Structure 1
Amino acid sequence: MKRGLVSLRATETHRDLLSEVTNWTDDGDELVLLWHLDGAEYDADVDTLESVGRVEHVDYDHSAVIDGAAADAKEFTDPVLADADVEAHVVVSVDSASSRARNVLDTAAEHDCDHAFIVGTSRSPTGKAVFGDFAQRVILNFDGYTTVVTE
């Protein structure tokens, strides 16, 4: 692996995945830490920012929400990466459950990642056929290795 993408949310399973990924890295490897910010959460944060701006008579840039999410991601990942000898940087993705796989694939392609590490959910074959499945979409469409752990 030269550059791996780790799909992350603020759960213990994702923290465990990142910890395990650090065991797979070699000197010179890089990690793209894709932090998923739920679209509804993003919209609520933007609304709050705009409300505060109206009270303070200030126009706040919506990028402050992304910057805050990136800071949250660093706070989540830094303790895990503290002892790892790997270069890592955070990319924030605003998405919904239905767009998460596409954002993983697009970010991996944009950063030339050769390995994707994701957390999937255990679902029945019927559930996958009817509702689609994040992990399945990434596995079938990623042009590289994919490692999946389940919640």
Structure 2
Amino acid sequence: MDNALVVIDDTDAHRTLLTEAGQLAHDTGATLTVLSWITPDQADETAANIEAIEQVEGTSYSDPDPTATAQQFARQFAADVLESADDSIEFTTEGIVTDGDERADEIIAAAERLGCDHLFLIGRQRSPTGKALFGDVAQRILLNFDGTVTLKMN
């Protein structure tokens, strides 16, 4: 493992995954990138909230960049988790905006763009029928990523 990507959300399972991946990357000398994603709807909601604040305060903020919003979340989440685990673990962050249908492809594209050879992610327990009807991000990544995938079931 030379370059690892950890896909996170704001759950306890992701805290555990990030702690374990961070320690493994640190111990092996690999670079660690923490990736967070938001949906287009969440990006629109963030923009609407900022606009509402501007109207109440009579101030003006720059247009929110949804990718930067996701990256900022990754930075704060990773700092909180990794500094409490081991403050010598170094990391970089990335953010993407994607919906559920394209999330696997966007994660793989980010991993390839960053030169990652190892992905860490959380999977959900689903019935075979649920996978067939709705797809499964983790399953698509396992089948299509050209590298090692560590999948922790939630």
The answer for the alignment partner of 2:62 in structure 1 is 60
Match of 1:16, SS state, is helix
Q: Is 2:91 the partner of 1:96?
A: no
Task: Name the CA distance, whole Å, in 2 between partners of 1:59 and 1:18.
Answer: 32
Q: Which runs of 5+ in 2 are unaligned?
A: none
136, 141, 145: which is aligned to 1:133?
136
The answer for the alignment partner of 1:13 in structure 2 is 13
Contact 2:122 2:151 in 1 (8 A): yes
Task: Name the CA distance, whole Å, in 2 between partners of 1:127 and 1:27.
Answer: 37
Task: Name the CA distance, whole Å, in 2 between partners of 1:84 and 1:146.
Answer: 25
Task: Name the CA distance, whole Å, in 2 between partners of 1:66 and 1:139.
Answer: 25
The residue type paired with residue 4 of structure 1 is: A
The answer for the alignment partner of 1:110 in structure 2 is 113
The answer for the alignment partner of 1:73 in structure 2 is 74
The answer for the alignment partner of 1:30 in structure 2 is 31
Matched residue pairs, number?
Answer: 150
The residue type paired with residue 14 of structure 1 is: H
The residue type paired with residue 72 of structure 1 is: F
The residue type paired with residue 44 of structure 1 is: E
The residue type paired with residue 125 of structure 1 is: P
Cα gap change, 1:61 to 1:13, in 2 (>3 Å):
same
Task: Name the CA distance, whole Å, in 2 between partners of 1:99 and 1:52.
Answer: 31
Cα gap change, 1:125 to 1:91, in 2 (>3 Å):
same
Post-superposition offset of 1:59? 6.0
The residue type paired with residue 16 of structure 1 is: T
The answer for the alignment partner of 2:42 in structure 1 is 41
Post-superposition offset of 1:95? 1.7
**Taking structure 1 as the reference length, what is the TM-score of the superposition?**
0.87
Task: Name the CA distance, whole Å, in 1 between partners of 2:88 and 2:140.
Answer: 31
The residue type paired with residue 12 of structure 1 is: D
Post-superposition offset of 1:94? 1.4
The residue type paired with residue 120 of structure 1 is: G
**Taking structure 2 as the reference length, what is the TM-score of the superposition?**
0.86
